[in-house]
Chains A and B, each alone.
Chain A
């Protein structure tokens, strides 16, 4: 059985439908990339999957999360799924962390709620969670989000997301807000953790290079529609849709440009 099965998902906002008839599924432990430009409906899809759409938006179709129907379900029914089954890492770690709560407490919350840890056990679990995202300094747990760097914050957000041991991790452009060197470290960390725990990963991004590194299969969204889906090599080598071809071409063009600059410099030296 698949951990996530989305079929004919449509999200409506008044008369507009920013997500239309989207279908895809993830097997346990599978890694899938959802790509598309801004406004293509990627983030709304991830919110609809967890039943966290803003009130003004309505979803229809079917989203089966570990066999539970999410579309139309009451919030209280979904609460048990959020954490042990699915978790999201958001794009901007500064806004995704409560500014007035110490980082350690924010990590402790899902551990307490879902694993029932208390007291000294909870404290050591928080330390272990921070250690796992390569933040071994015990002072981090006592810090507030604004006292950390962007990369540290995103590691904390990942630690929170992984605390309840989800079977599916949704990463919504987790590195877009970070600078390039930090990006790479965070991606490696995610890659390692997903592999170690055998989690399924839904990786959302507009960056083909990043996505193809992280996932096995790609789903391309445009204007709320799935325009292409397939394995990474399929999509990258033989993009069927003009839109995908354009994404691939622009990525190639950048690579070629960089190679050329490099060659020029070597020739000059």
Chain B
């Protein structure tokens, strides 16, 4: 009997020490973008507003990725964009995670009529276009990066809240919650010891997806002038600006496109890998 336990314990330790391919790939992709964003704090090949280059130049020694139609260096914009993308993704997801989890848990623990009211409210917010919400926030706050972050975060928190509510309800029906209650565990104990740890893996994966969605949402808000105002560069606006010239100067669209894909994929892989690490029931099975 003790031999079996020993075997299982060593197994799980061994597997825990061998990180998965997805986790490594996620770390590499996300790490590279974080690094670029950090470098952009200290060094850019050209200032963002520098229009000294020729218009729509191809890649060259002077401009590694070429220039846009105003003669601005694309690499400088791409590097600056990494910073914007990370800020938007992180902050919007943070807002969504905190607000969404709290609202979702409140709904899950409430009496049926409170739950129904909250759920109906969430459905309305989810049905509400992000763009409209963003315009509302911008009308109140003025166009800035933070207005965009706030609007995206609020919109996403409804999605997170609905998921949290469903997941929490399912955990509350588990027998281990009843068992914990027969030991006299109160509501807060149930939330922090049982509900949150058990919904965290699913929630984390969903938040990683939301991170990608936030980066894309900021792109469309920037296009409408509702995002960070120029000379701030965001990958979304770079894409939109390169739209008209994609056939003559494809790098302008390809570079930010690849950057967005890399970040979204990287964060998703990272979340997936971290979930596998955190979930003890998965350690042994792979």
Contact = CB atoms under 8 A, between A and B. Distances in A.
A1 to B, nearest CB: 22
B66 to A, nearest CB: 51
Contact of A92 (B1, B175, B189): B175
Contact of B180 (A47, A98, A140, A143): A98
Interface in A121-179: 137, 139-140, 142-144, 146-149, 152, 157, 160-161, 163-164
Given A50-B182, A113-B183, A139-B6, A146 B281 contact: yes
B184 A79 contact: yes
A96 B176 contact: yes
A82 B8 contact: no
Interface size range of chain B in the complex: 20 to 34
A100 interface: yes
Interface string B1-16: 1101110110010000
Contacts of B185: 79, 109, 113
A205 interface: no
A84 B183 CA distance: 8
A55 B109 CA distance: 11
B179 A143 contact: no
B243 interface: no
Contacts of B280: 99-100, 144, 146-147
B174 interface: yes
Given A100-B198, A101-B197, A137 B2 contact: yes
A126 to B, nearest CB: 14
Contacts of B189: 109, 113
Interface string A90-118: 10100111111100000001100110000
Contact of A143 (B5, B176, B198): B5
Interface string B86-125: 0000000000000000000000000010000000000000
A76 B193 CA distance: 18
B281 A114 contact: no
Contacts of A52: 178, 181-182
B186 interface: yes
Interface size range of chain A in the complex: 35 or more
Contacts of A55: 112
B183 A140 contact: no
B187 to A, nearest CB: 8
A83 interface: yes
A100 B181 contact: no
B5 A90 contact: no
Interface string B227-254: 0000000000000000000000000000
Nearest to A47: B178
A109 B183 contact: yes
A198 to B, nearest CB: 20
Nearest to B198: A100
Contacts of A83: 182-184
Interface string A225-239: 000000000000000
Contacts of B6: 139
A164 B184 contact: yes
- Give 8 nearest A-B pairs by CB, closest first: A83-B184, A82-B184, A110-B183, A95-B175, A144-B280, A98-B176, A96-B179, A147-B8
Interface of A: 47, 50, 52, 55, 76, 79-84, 86-88, 90, 92, 95-101, 109-110, 113-114, 137, 139-140, 142-144, 146-149, 152, 157, 160-161, 163-164
14 contacts: A79-B184, A79-B186, A83-B182, A83-B184, A90-B175, A98-B194, A100-B280, A101-B194, A101-B197, A140-B5, A146-B284, A160-B179, A160-B183, A164-B183
